[in-house]
Amino acid sequence: MKQSQPLLTIVVPCYNEEEVLEETAKQLTSVLDDLTAEELISSESKILFVDDGSRDRTWSLIAMESTKNDYVTGLKLARNVGHQKALLAGLEKAKDKSDCVVSIDADLQDDVSVIRDFILHYHEGCEIVYGVRRCRKTDTFFKRTTALGFYRFMNKLGINLVYNHADYRLMSKRALEELSRFKEANLFLRGIIPMIGFKWTEVIYDRKERFAGETKYPLKKMLSFAFDGITSFSVAPIRFITSLGFFLFFLSVIAGAYALIQKTLGYTNAGWTSLIISIWLIGGLQLMGIGMIGEYIGKIFMEVKGRPKYAIDIDLYSERLGHFQHDETDMLMEERFI
């Protein structure tokens, strides 16, 4: 059993979420009020909004909300680094001061009421609790089909993903400590976190329509995210290219033997079409193979440089806990609304 009143931090990565942010703060505040009243969490629990270099009023709204809501704090990143790195920034910032952390997107598609179930499972000893969608009725047919294919493909590659789970989860302090030991720059948290182990469970919920604003994951980003997940955890694509290369080699040996026999028997004819098709086929496969190898080399290049994943511009979370990040309070108050 966990301690009776753990300090919970809800981490919410945000990118251009001005249309939904106030409602998100309102609903999450209500959840924390209810959990505090039930004595399931500490009254010192927080909501940490992570502004991932937004170009709208997202940060101004976070800073303003923090002045009137004791739960709300903020972390402003110096530039846009992407959802996964922004989420990691929030998790790492909350790790030292929290007993457990819940991560949730700002769009309110995930049912905030099941955070209570997360906490109950945490009290029962679970270190990780995954929020899992009951179904995908709100998705288009294309998105539903491609998502199902992606999960099945990843499982066949031996990559352990929780089906229909995104980034809505609870992690204990111990699980976050283990996560901090993973140093790769190419982040795919949905694949990394199941590798941690520890006692875990799932909470099933119904996903809602987006409260306001537009999705930050159009088709192009979804495909890029899926490809990053595959190449970050498996060398299967390179092995596929190698296998295809061997297959075409043996096929060319058979074709060469056939051509030699035809020439010996005097049946040869000029074959411009077959020649051009062969050249295009082999050339295309070579370029595909080189591109696939280049993708992995590029990932190695990013890893060995060891550059920081993000830079923090303003840290209201530490300030709220009594550790000011700026020497002059007036300067901080001025920067809040920039």
Angle of helix 115-123 relative to helix 21-37, nearest 10 degrees, comes to: 40
3-state SS of the chain?
Answer: CCCCCCCEEEEEEECCCCCCHHHHHHHHHHHHHHHHHCCCCCCCCEEEEEECCCCCCHHHHHHHHHHHCCCEEEEEECCCCCHHHHHHHHHHHHHCCCCEEEECCCCCCCCHHHHHHHHHHHHCCCCEEEEEECCCCCCCHHHHHHHHHHHHHHHHCCCCCCCCEEEEEEEEHHHHHHHCCCCCCCCCHHHHHHHHCCCEEEEEECCCCCCCCCCCCCHHHHHHHHHHHHHHHCCHHHHHHHHHHHHHHHHHHHHHHHHHHHHHHCCCCCCHHHHHHHHHHHHHHHHHHHHHHHHHHHHHHHHHHCCCCCCEEEEHHHHHCCCCCCCCHHHHHHHHCC
The model's pLDDT over 127-164, given as tens digits with 9 standing for 90+, comes to 999 999 887 666 666 666 777 777 777 777 667 778 88
Q: Is the pLDDT of residue 249 over 80?
A: no
For residue 299, what pLDDT is reported? 74
Q: Return d(Cα 184, Cα 203) in angstroms, integer.
A: 28
* pLDDT score of 230: 66
Over residues 206-223, mean pLDDT: 65
Question: Which one of 40-44, 192-196, 270-274 scores highest in mean pLDDT?
Answer: 40-44
Percent of the chain with pLDDT over 90: 40
Region 75-102: what's the mean pLDDT? 93
pLDDT digits (tens, 9 = 90+) for 255-265: 667 666 766 76
Distance of alpha carbon 81 from alpha carbon 179, whole angstroms? 19
Question: Is the sign of the CA dihedral 193, 199, 203, 204 positive or negative?
Answer: positive
**Of residues 237 and 126, more confidently modeled:** 126
Distance CA 184, CA 34 (A): 38
Handedness of CA 105, 109, 113, 118 (dihedral sign): negative
45-66 per-position pLDDT tens digit: 999 999 999 999 999 999 999 9
pLDDT in tens, 91-134: 999 998 899 999 999 989 999 999 999 999 999 999 999 999 88
Q: Which range has the worst mean pLDDT, 72-86, 106-120, 204-218, 317-331?
A: 317-331
189 or 325, which is more confident: 189
For the CA atoms of 14, 96, 65, 10, the dihedral, rounded to the nearest 10 degrees, stands at 60
* pLDDT band (50, 70, 90) for residue 324: very low
Higher-pLDDT residue of 195 and 45 is 45
- Among 52-61, 221-230, 240-249, whose mean pLDDT is lowest? 221-230
0.75 surpassed by pTM: no
Residue 234 has pLDDT above 80, yes or no: no
The confidence score (pLDDT) of residue 295 equals 74
> How many Å is the Cα radius of gyration of the chain?
25
Name which residue leads in pLDDT, 328 or 51: 51
